[in-house]
Structure 1
C-alpha cells in the first residue's frame, strides 16, 4: 500500500484488513474488522486510513447498534483496482476486465487459438488495450518503470486460465489438449512482454473455482468440489478457502476416471473412463447421429447450443443425449464426493449453461441418496460461460490481494 501500485502490498495485515472489508459489500464498521481480523484496534485504524487515502476504501454511511455514537461503515471501492482475465479455451479466447469483486466491467470474445501463439497473444494484447481505453483504466507503461498513476481504475495485472497440462510456476503451457501449436509456450512471459503487465497462469478448473470463492465470499470452512464442463470435464476442490492444486498443478484431471461402466474401452486400455461419455465431441457426434438439426460445419459450441435448443423444443432424442451425459457426470461426481467429502458441489464451465436445463436435474437424480444423507448442496455456477475468464481475473486478485496462510505479523 505504501508504493504507487496495489501490487506493492506486502504486509499480511494490510491484505487481511482489505479482504475483511471486501467480504462485506454493504459496509462494515472498524470494530467488526477488528473482531474478524483479530488485529489490534490501532493496527486496523492505521491500515484503514491508508486504504481510504489510496482510494481503495470509502465511507459507506453509518450504522447504529446499541448505545453510543453511530459506527462509520467502510466498504471497498470495487473499481479502484482492476484485473484482467484471459481464458484460452479451444472454442474461443475470452478476455474480461473485472473489478475487485471479480465482476466484469468490460469483456470481449476472440476467435479460437490458432497454431500461431505469437499472433494470438498479439490479438489478446490488442483486446486488452481496447477494453482498457474504453474504461479509462491505466497500468504500468513498458520501459518507463513504475508509472505515476491515478488512484482510480488501476490495472493490477493479468490472470490466464488454460487447459492442462501446464507449468503454473514457470508460466508455461506444456501440452494443452485441443489447442494445437501451443506446446511449451511461455505464455506468462510472452503476454507480460506485449502488455507491460504482470501475469499469472493456472488451470481453467482451478480458475473457475477461485472465481466462485472470490465472487461469492463462500465459507472458507467448507470443502467445495467443482466440476468444470467444457470440451472435456475436469474437477477442482478447495478447503480452507484455498484451491488444492497438487504437486504439479495437475490435480483434478479426471478424464480417465473409471465410472463403473463396461460398454466402452478407452484408448488407455481401461473400460468406462469418464471422458468416453462426457467429452463435448461425444455429445456432438451423438446429436449428428440422431439427426439433430445443425450446420455441417458448425463448431462445437454452436453444435451444443443447437442440441440444447432441440431439447428445449421437445426433442426426446436431444433430451436423452444430454441426460446420458449428465448421468455419467453424476456417476463421476459420486466417486469424487466419496473421496473429498464436500459440503458443496458446483457444476460450471463454458458448455454447462447449454446443458444445464436438462442436465442438472439428471445429476441431482444420480446424487439423490448422497444429497439426502449428507445434506450437501448441489448447484450450478452463477458465473455463466465466462467463468474461465472471470476465474482467471480472480486468480490474479487472489494472488495480489489475499492474505497468506501464515500468521499475521506483529501489531
Structure 2
C-alpha cells in the first residue's frame, strides 16, 4: 500500500475518552509534589495547592467555573503567603481552558483577571523576597515574565477555539452542500420522471387511440365489405410499430446513458402527424404558417406534443364526423408561437375519459416555457385547445 503523503496525513487528535484520561494524568502529575510538601513543609500551603489543582479535572466541561476556582485559590494564596507555590502552574492551564472552551466574553474577562493577578503576584513575591527588590526594573521584569505566561496561554486557547470554529464551519458547510446536492439530484430525477411520464402518455395515448379507432372502424366495415379492412389494419400495424419504437427509445434512456436516441419531433413533423390523423379517419384541416417559424427544440417538441394529444382527444371525444383544425402561427407582438387545435364535435359535452391527464401534461409542458394554455368549449360547439409559448 502506498505511503500517505504529509499533505494527506490527518492530525492526531484525542477522542473524548482520551481527553478525560489526559486531564486526569495532568492533574495527578501536578498533585504529585503536593502531599510531600504538605507533610514536610506546610500543611496550609498543601491545602491551597489542592484547591488550585483539583478543579483542572473538569476544565473542558466547566471552563468558567474551573477558572473561577483557580483564580479564587490564587487570590487566597496572595492574602496568606508572599511566595509562589508549585500550584501556580494551574493558573495558565485554567486560562488556556477558558479561552479554548468558553465564550469569547468569558475569555477576555479571564485575560483581564490574569493580567491583574500578575501585578498582584509581582508586588507580593518581590516584597516577600525583600523590600529592597521593589525597584522599577525588577517590577517590570517580574511582571512581564508572569504576564507572559498568562498571555501565551490565553493566545493558544483563543487560537484553538478559532481553529475549531473554522473546522466546524467547514464541516457544516460540507454537510449543507451535500444535502443541497442530494436535494437537487432528487428534484432533477423527479423532473425527469415527470418528463418521461408525459412523453410515454403522449405516445401511448396517441398510438392506442389510433389503433382503437381503426379497429372499431375495420370491425364495422368488415360486416359489409371485408376488403376495406386492409388499409385500417395497415394503419394499426404502422401505428403500433411507431409506438413500440418510441417506447423502446424512452425505456432505453432509462436503462443506459449511451442508448441510441432518435431525433425529437420538430414543427416540420406536424405535417406527417396531420396526415396520420387523416389516414386514421379524422378529417383535419391544417393551417400552418409558411414557412414554419424557427423555434428551439424544446418549444418545437412542446408544440408537437400539444397537437398530438389534442388530435387524440378529438378521436376519443369529438364523436364520428367531427372535423379538427390545427393552426400554427407566430405572434410578433408577444414574441410567442400560437398553437391552436379546435374541433366541431361533441367533445366538450362528453365525460372526461382520461382527457384530464392529457390536459395536465399539456399545462406542464407549456408552464415549463413560461407560456399559457387555455382549454374549453369552442364557440359554436366542439372543443378548443390554445397554447401561447414564448420563443
Normalised by the length of structure 2, the TM-score is 0.22
The structure whose residues are more often helix, as a share, is 2
Structure with larger Rg: 2
Normalised by the length of structure 1, the TM-score is 0.22
The structure whose residues are more often strand, as a share, is 1
